[in-house]
């Protein structure tokens, strides 16, 4: 079954407003109408409204980098999935920086995932092992998937998984396409075991970690890799455009 890939641009905590608007405008000019992949632009939260306005009516989607699990209340600095509805259509949950820099627990990741689904948005659940965990990557991925999907009795079609080995993020030390393929296939087999084979087969699984315009082809042609979650290179309109086109053409 053919799966439509998804390329996410995770800007992380980068860009001022003028830079964000210039990047959004360049991305729209370059990528609107591209077929063969979905594209989700995930700017910092303060620019989500600008992104929604500037990408409205285009084929580019807006995504948020994080969310709170509660719908509303006394949570200073946080924003909820119902607030994102109508502004963003994708939300990254469980990114390694949320887990390891901000101390997000798997229970919180799971609550976020469920809040995103309840709001009718599409979660990108990020999983991946740290350098010191590479000898037990299967256990780590199994635990992250089991805990991330706690309480779900089926795998919704809206869910995308991003396999991002933590040691490959922002380091220039990208996983080899063969290793990334093996991990994504492993994740797919775990999804089949946890849910069922058809929904596992239909689920999009991205690779993330030092993806560039130069190395994307290696990932894009792998059978179990359905696009990429791009950090640093997503801040460069030319590089990100080349990545999206390579995925669309694969």
191 binds ligand 13P (CB under 6 A): no
Give the shortest CB-57-to-ligand 13P separation in angstroms: 26
Strand-pair partners of 170: none
Among 144, 210, 215, 222, binds ligand 13P (CB under 6 A): 210
- The yes or no reply on residue 230 touching ligand 13P (CB under 6 A) is yes
Neighbours of 9 (CB within 10 A): 26
Q: What are phi and psi of 209, to 5 degrees?
A: 135, 95
- Residue closest to ligand 13P, measured at CB: 231
**178 is annotated as an active-site residue:** no
Total binding residues toward ligand 13P, as defined by CB under 6 A:
14
Residue (89 or 210) nearer to ligand 13P, CB: 210
Q: Which is nearer to ligand 13P, 148 or 209 (CB)?
A: 209
Which residues contact residue 229 at a Cβ distance below 8 angstroms, ignoring those fewer than 6 apart?
7, 8, 10, 92, 124, 126, 162, 164, 206, 207, 208, 211
Q: Is 95 a catalytic residue?
A: yes
| Dihedral pair phi/psi, residue 109, rounded to 5° | -60, -45
Among the listed residues 95, 97, 104, 129, the single catalytic one is 95
Q: Which two tokens stand for residue 189?
A: 């087999």
Task: Tell me the C-alpha distance between 59 and 190, whole Å.
Answer: 32
The one segment of 67-75, 135-143, 218-226, 228-236 that binds ligand 13P by CB under 6 A: 228-236
Residue with tokens 């991205």: 206
Which of residues 149 and 167 has its CB atom nearest to ligand 13P in the complex? 167
One of 97, 104, 129, 164 is an active-site residue; which one? 164
Site for ligand 13P in 137-176 (CB under 6 A): 164, 169-170
Smallest gap from Cβ 239 to ligand 13P, in A, equals 10
Beta pairing class for 204-208 and 227-230: parallel
* Helix or strand run (H / E) with residue 208: strand 204-208
Give the list of residues 6+ apart from residue 158 with CB closer than 8 angstroms, or none: 117, 121, 122, 123
Exactly one of 175, 216, 229, 243 binds ligand 13P (CB under 6 A); which one? Answer: 229
Interface with ligand 13P (CB under 6 A): 10, 95, 164, 169-170, 208-211, 229-233
Positions marked active-site: 95, 164
């Amino acid at each position: 079954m053919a799966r439509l890939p998804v390329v996410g641009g995770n800007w992380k905590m980068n860009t001022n407003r003028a830079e964000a608007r210039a990047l959004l405008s360049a991305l729209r000019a370059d990528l609107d109408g591209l077929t063969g992949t979905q594209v989700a632009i995930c700017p910092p939260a303060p620019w989500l409204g600008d992104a929604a306005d500037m990408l409205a009516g285009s084929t580019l989607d807006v995504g948020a980098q994080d969310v709170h699990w509660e719908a509303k209340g006394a949570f200073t600095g946080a924003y909820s999935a119902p607030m994102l509805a109508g502004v963003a259509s994708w939300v990254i949950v469980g990114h390694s920086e949320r887990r390891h820099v901000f101390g997000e627990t798997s229970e919180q990741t799971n609550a976020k995932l469920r809040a995103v689904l309840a709001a009718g948005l599409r979660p990108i659940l990020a999983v991946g092992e740290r350098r010191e965990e590479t000898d037990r990557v299967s256990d780590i991925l199994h635990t992250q998937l089991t805990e991330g999907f706690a309480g779900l009795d089926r795998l919704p079609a809206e869910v995308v998984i991003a396999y991002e080995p933590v040691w490959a993020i922002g380091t220039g030390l990208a996983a080899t396409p063969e290793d990334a393929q093996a991990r994504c296939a492993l994740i797919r087999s775990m999804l089949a075991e946890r849910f069922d084979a058809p929904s596992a087969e239909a689920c999009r699984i991205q690779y993330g970690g030092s993806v560039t315009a130069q190395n994307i082809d290696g990932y894009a042609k792998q059978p179990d890799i359905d696009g990429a979650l791009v950090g640093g290179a997503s801040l460069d309109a030319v590089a990100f455009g080349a990545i999206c086109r390579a995925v669309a053409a694969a």
